[in-house]
Amino acid sequence: MLVPALSTPAEVDLRELATADSLLVALDFDGVLAPLQDDPETSQMTAGSAAAIAALARLPHTRVALVSGRDIATLSRLTETPESVWMIGSHGAEAALGSGIESDRARIALSETTARTSHTAPGPRTPRAHRGRARRGSTAIDAHT
């Protein structure tokens, strides 16, 4: 398995990557495939990103994965990708690898944590994030400040 060392883009030998037995291209959605937005619901993948993902997905021995803090349902709605593209959502708690979403343990853990902490009153030790807005996803609570 080929694992290149950290390098600058100018130092990457694409010929070496192109001849690898298998290649995983994992890309973050927000800030990489789609520009960052003040309102995350208005985020859209650029046309160039969509075309690049489709082209990569057609390459032999190449797997493409979209990685996001967003839940997979939202990520799927915001992207138009080939079915062969893996989706890793909710900061890794969800994985759609072509055979469905695997996230039951994460949902159960979130429900248990929410039940234990939902009656906690804010106090002097309340993190600054609580002064922003929170969004409850299917497997995580995201704090936006």
The string over 109-139, giving b where at least 16 C-beta atoms fall within 10 Å of a residue's C-beta and e elsewhere, is ebeeeeeeeeeeeeeeeeeeeeeeeeeebbb
Q: What is residue 101's DSSP assignment? A: B
Whole-number Å distance between alpha carbons of 96 and 43? 21
What is the pTM assigned to this prediction? 0.64
Ordered structural domains, the chain, with CATH? 9-102 (3.40.50.1000)
The answer to whether residues 113 and 104 touch, using CB atoms and an 8 Å cutoff, is no
pLDDT in tens, the chain (145 residues): 555 566 666 666 677 777 788 889 999 999 999 999 989 889 999 999 999 999 999 998 889 999 999 999 999 999 988 889 999 998 888 888 875 555 556 566 666 666 665 555 455 555 554 455 666 666 556 665 5
